Amino acid sequence: MKEFLVETFAHHRTLIVFLHVISAVIWVGGMIAIRFATHQSLSLISDPKLRLERAAHTLKRLFAIVTPFVIVLIVTAVLMAVGLGFRAAAMDPMGNVIDEYAMSLYNTIHIKEAIWLIMALNLGAMMWRRAKAETALKEGNLEKAKEMLALIAQYMVPVNIVLGITAIFIGVVLRNAY
Q: Which is nearer to ligand HEM, 126 or 164 (CB)?
A: 164
Q: How many CA atoms lie within 13 A of 52 on its CB side?
A: 23
Query: Least distance to ligand HEM from the beta carbon of 166, Å?
Result: 8
The helices-and-strands tally (H runs, E runs) of the chain is 8, 0
Contacts of ligand HEM in 23-52 (CB under 6 A): 24, 27-28
CB-based contacts of 60, cutoff 8 Å, min separation 6: 130, 134
Q: Which is nearer to ligand HEM, 98 or 173 (CB)?
A: 173
Start-to-end C-alpha separation, the chain: 24
By CB under 6 A, residue 113 contacts ligand HEM: yes
Q: Which is nearer to ligand HEM, 35 or 112 (CB)?
A: 112
Question: What sign for the dihedral angle of Cα 156, 130, 75, 36?
Answer: negative
Where along the sequence are the contacts to ligand HEM (CB under 6 A)?
17, 20-21, 24, 27-28, 73-74, 77, 80-81, 84, 109, 112-113, 115-116, 119, 164, 167-168, 171-172, 174-175
